[in-house]
Amino acid sequence: MLLKSVALFFLISILYGCSVCDDVFGKNYSLSAVSSFSEDIDELKKIWFHCEMCLNEPSCKYEDVKQCRNITLPSRDEALSKAIGRANIGAVHFLVDIAKTDVNGVTGRYQNTPLIVAAYYGTKEHQDIAEFLLSRGANINKIYPAVGGTPLGVAIWKQNVNFAKFLLENGADPSITINGREEGFACEKAMSKKLPELFPLIPGCCPLALHDLNFDPNIAPQTIPQCSGFQILSEK
């Protein structure tokens, strides 16, 4: 009897369409469920374009409208965060340019911004994503209340040197912290992580690093190759 019921259900589904399945199993119009992997891009677009049509079409089913308003639209920020985490560039571009996802939106327990997520992973693909986000208005200095405090701070913390260089070359302020401005903040973090490649890019960092390296006057002066041409900061 059970097998007959199941067979009848699927026969009805075939004859009358997926609306029957929707009524039984419920729908999931969340964009974040299909934003991580490139092979899901068609489903991501399908959900978005369906909702775009549905929210502007009076004849659209109430349940679809409800899903689009309560699930699809609010899921954009998380979808973007997941797409960035997986370096799913196609989904990132679609979510920002077509779905109009906020490039400064925050997600998760630590209120991560899209740039924070990119800085955390720090690969060349994530750098390309960050460049795209900046071109769309992402705030390079926006803080978040966790380790690092800013995209630059996170890149230094994760020792993503090339990503940190990219941020500094594109206007990241090395003095911004979650508690306000603090001169030498990024320099101290770079020194603690032993990232001399960043010293010349942070204003005042080479003299400070050379001073800290040569704190003992009884030891012959040491140098930092990346800081050649800079003078040791003198005591005042």
Residues 86 and 117 in one domain: no
Give the per-residue pLDDT at 218.
56
Rounded CA separation 33/35 (Å) = 6
The vertex-58 CA angle with 56 and 60, nearest 5°, equals 90
Residue 81 lies in a domain: yes
Residues 89 and 171 in one domain: no
Tell me what the pLDDT averaged over the chain comes to: 86
Residue 210 lies in a domain: no
Q: Is pLDDT above 50 for 14?
A: no
Rounded CA separation 222/210 (Å) = 8
Residues 92 and 127 in one domain: no
pLDDT tens digits along 148-178 = 899 999 999 999 999 999 999 999 999 998 8
The vertex-147 CA angle with 142 and 151, nearest 5°, equals 35
Residues 106 and 59 in one domain: no
Residues 135 and 194 in one domain: yes
Q: Is pLDDT above 60 for 63?
A: yes
With H, G, I as helix, E, B as strand and everything else as coil, classify residue 108: coil
Rounded CA separation 200/228 (Å) = 9
Give the per-residue pLDDT at 27.
67
Residues 114 and 194 in one domain: yes
Residue 72 lies in a domain: yes
Residues 85 and 58 in one domain: yes
Residue 212 lies in a domain: no
Rounded CA separation 234/214 (Å) = 11
Residues 124 and 188 in one domain: yes
Residues 75 and 111 in one domain: no
8 Å CB contact between 147 and 162: no
pTM for the whole structure: 0.82
Bridge partners, 107 (sequence order) = 112
Tell me the CATH number at 150. Answer: 1.25.40.20
Residues 49 and 33 in one domain: yes
Q: What residues make up the domain containing 157?
A: 102-203
In this predicted model, which residue has the larger pLDDT, 182 or 172?
172
Q: How many domains are contained in the chain?
A: 2
pLDDT tens digits along 83-116 = 999 999 999 999 999 999 999 999 999 899 999 9
Residue 116 lies in a domain: yes
Residue 45 lies in a domain: yes
Rounded CA separation 199/205 (Å) = 5
Residue of 80, 202, 75 lying closest to 133 (CA atoms): 80
Residues 176 and 157 in one domain: yes
Residues 92 and 140 in one domain: no
